[in-house]
Amino acid sequence: MKLEGGRIPSSQLTILAIGFLLGSSIILGPGGAAENNAWLAVLFGLGEGLVFLSIYVQLQKNYPHKTLIEMNDIIYGPYLGKLFSICYIIFFLHTASLVVRSFGAFFGIILVSTPLSLLLISILLVCAYAVRNGIEVIARCSLLLVVLMIIVTIFNTALVAINMEPSNLLPFMDIPIQEFFKASHSISTLPFGQTIVFLMIVAFLNQQQEAGPSLLKAFLIFGLFFLIIALRNPMVMGPQIYLATYPSFAVVRSINIADILTRLDILIGVSFLGAGFLKITVLYYGAVLGIAQILNMRSYLPLVLPIGALILGVSLLQYDAYIYDINDALKYYPYYSLPFEFFLPLITLVAAKIRTYLQASPGGKV
């Protein structure tokens, strides 16, 4: 009995990946410290992200129809492989809890007296329902949500066009070079590197050879959108962009077309609702499926709610206030996530290459 019977076409994978990447970046805004040079940081971050992606795609090419967990088992053997898998699963769970928390924090600015746990439970319940229904359902609902998010982003950008002041992008590269690379690196780890979780999903792709191109497409389309946002936000906000907790949100709040089209805050709320849902669901699904595969379970359904409760608990307990989260996201996450997003997959890829080389060579026994 297979854990996941669903199959998704490559076009849906692209859409799902775009939605996943848009996830928290839709409100957090790119490259905090880079401010008016964020657009360049986005390009550098995309470049670094593509390096990460090439590792993931290589891995997937070597082991088609296998998830990350199964790959680890094949490459490292059942015991060491499981250890590696557990590392990834902890990373997925933690990242999911971070996204859930940033989701709650965002809605918490308006819903001040509503308990945070209620906001988190309500989003997690929807995510749990999606995870329960399997990858086909997740992929299909991503289509609707991503189209909505893209339309909203284009709409917002068009409406603030009159507030844009291109000279706000000047002076070019006035920040210390190491600050700039910190910013671009943080973009590459959040969101680009987080696509490591897609190694749990591409196994269910109809045509395995399409995995690389469709993820690449997602990276480039999202990169374009991120670039537009990174150019738009400083142009509209000017120097005070350093002040805004959620720059994109502040930009949308400043829309004022003849006093008729104003107060469009809800547009950002809706798109973040969709994007956050997709991102949490994908990470949640990756963790649940991974644990089920490690434990050799016949179905992952019994795990859905307990893992959801775990994500909820972690996201509630890890910070007292969201300011710590922003601090961490900027300071530590780029380095904390690096082993899971880059080093472990790289080691796995090298190990896989050695293994295939040994198998192919006549003297190899393994």
Stretch that binds another protein, among 59-67, 124-132, 248-256, 295-303 (CB under 8 A): 248-256
Which one, 109 or 358, has the nearer CB to another protein?
109
How far is 266 from 300, CA to CA, in rounded Å? 36
Contact present, 248 and 229 (Cβ < 8 Å):
yes
Instruction: Quote the least distance from Cβ 347 to another protein, whole Å.
Output: 43
Which one, 171 or 363, has the nearer CB to another protein?
171
Instruction: Quote the least distance from Cβ 99 to another protein, whole Å.
Output: 21
321 is an interface residue for another protein by CB under 8 A:
no
Q: Which of 65, 83, 90, 114 binds another protein (CB under 8 A)?
A: 114
How far is 272 from 21, CA to CA, in rounded Å? 12
Stretch that binds another protein, among 182-190, 237-245, 292-300, 341-349 (CB under 8 A): 237-245
176 is an interface residue for another protein by CB under 8 A:
no
How far is 34 from 242, CA to CA, in rounded Å? 10
Helices (H), 238-343: 247-253, 265-294, 301-317, 322-331, 333-336, 338
How many CA atoms lie within 13 Å of 37's alpha carbon, on the beta-carbon side? 18
366 is an interface residue for another protein by CB under 8 A:
no
Q: Which of 80, 118, 144, 162 binds another protein (CB under 8 A)?
A: 118
296 is an interface residue for another protein by CB under 8 A:
no
* Environment class of 316 (CB within 10 Å of its CB; exposed 0-12, middle 13-18, buried 19+): middle
What kind and span of H or E run contains 261? strand 261-262
DSSP code of residue 8: B
113 is an interface residue for another protein by CB under 8 A:
yes
Q: Which of 2, 79, 112, 362 binds another protein (CB under 8 A)?
A: 112
Q: Which of 254, 305, 338, 346 binds another protein (CB under 8 A)?
A: 254
What kind and span of H or E run contains 18? helix 10-28
Q: Which of 240, 299, 327, 359 binds another protein (CB under 8 A)?
A: 240
Backbone angles phi, psi at 244, to 5 degrees: -80, 130
Stretch that binds another protein, among 74-82, 164-172, 188-196, 302-310 (CB under 8 A): 164-172
How far is 200 from 192, CA to CA, in rounded Å? 16
How many whole angstroms from its chain centre is CA 238?
A: 28
Residues lying near another protein in the complex (CB under 8 A): 109-115, 118, 167, 170-171, 174, 237-240, 243, 250, 253-254, 256, 262-263
